[in-house]
Amino acid sequence: NKIFLLLFLSLKLYPLIEQIVKFYPQSIVYPFKLSYETLQYSTNDSTLKHNLEIIRQKLDRHTLLVNEFIQALNQLNPQHEYENWCKELYQLLTNDHQRLIKSRLTSIRFQFKNTIEKDLDNLFGKQGELFSTVLLTDVKTILTNLGTKLKSIAHDKTNINDYSTWFSLTFQQQHRILGTPSIREIEIPGQYTSKKKPLPEHHIKIVGFDEKILVLQSLRLPKRLTICEHDENDYRFLLKSGEDIRKDQRIQALFSIMNDLYDNEPNCNQSNLAHITVQTYKVIPMSTKLSIIEWLDNTRSLKELIETSYTQAENDIISQGQHPRKLYQDYVTNEFQKAKPT
Q: Which residue has the higher pLDDT, 193 or 279?
A: 279
Span 171-177, mean pLDDT?
70
Count of CB atoms situated within 10 Å of the CB of 286: 21
- In sequence order, what DSSP letters do the residues of 47-79 get, joined into one string? HHHHHHHHHHHHHHHH-TTHHHHHHHHHHT-HH
Give the pLDDT score at 101: 40
Tell whether the model's pLDDT for residue 267 goes beyond 90.
no
Give the pLDDT score at 90: 67
pTM, two decimal places = 0.72
- Residue 171 contacts residue 68 (beta carbons within 8 Å): yes
Count of CB atoms situated within 10 Å of the CB of 273: 9
The helix-helix angle for 25-42 and 66-75 (nearest 10°) equals: 70
Tell whether the model's pLDDT for residue 258 goes beyond 80.
yes
Give the pLDDT score at 321: 74
Span 321-335, mean pLDDT?
79
Cα 206 from Cα 218, distance rounded (Å): 28
Give the pLDDT score at 342: 60
Q: Which residue has the higher pLDDT, 85 or 287?
A: 287
- Residue 77 contacts residue 150 (beta carbons within 8 Å): no
- pLDDT, tens digit (0-9, with 9 covering 90-100), for 24-76: 999 989 988 888 887 777 777 787 788 888 889 999 888 888 888 998 998 88
Give the pLDDT score at 183: 66
Average per-residue pLDDT in the chain? 79
Cα 189 from Cα 73, distance rounded (Å): 13
Tell whether the model's pLDDT for residue 9 goes beyond 90.
no
Element (H, E) at 120: helix 107-124
Q: How many CA atoms lie within 13 A of 256 on its CB side?
A: 12
User: Under 8 Å CB-to-CB from 155, ≥6 apart: which residues?
Assistant: 215, 217, 221
Tell whether the model's pLDDT for residue 99 goes beyond 60.
no
Tell whether the model's pLDDT for residue 8 goes beyond 70.
no
Percent of the chain with pLDDT over 70: 81
Please report, as a single letter, which amino acid is at residue 329: Q
Write the burial class of residue 161 (CB in 10 Å: 0-12 exposed, 13-18 middle, 19+ buried).
Answer: middle
Give the pLDDT score at 248: 92
Give the pLDDT score at 15: 84
Q: How many residues does the chain have?
A: 342
Element (H, E) at 166: none
> Under DSSP, is residue 226 helix (H, G, I), strand (E, B) or coil?
strand
The helix-helix angle for 14-23 and 25-42 (nearest 10°) equals: 140
Span 312-337, mean pLDDT?
80
Give the pLDDT score at 5: 56
Span 258-270, mean pLDDT?
83
Please report, as a single letter, which amino acid is at residue 320: Q
Judged by average pLDDT, the poorest of 107-116, 241-250, 275-284, 312-321 is 107-116
Span 218-224, mean pLDDT?
84
Give the pLDDT score at 235: 93
Count of CB atoms situated within 10 Å of the CB of 285: 23
Q: Which residue has the higher pLDDT, 205 or 119?
A: 205
| Dihedral (Cα; 288, 155, 86, 67), 10-degree rounding | 40
3-state helix, strand, coil in the chain (%, to 5): 55, 10, 35
Give the pLDDT score at 98: 42
> Under DSSP, is residue 23 helix (H, G, I), strand (E, B) or coil?
helix
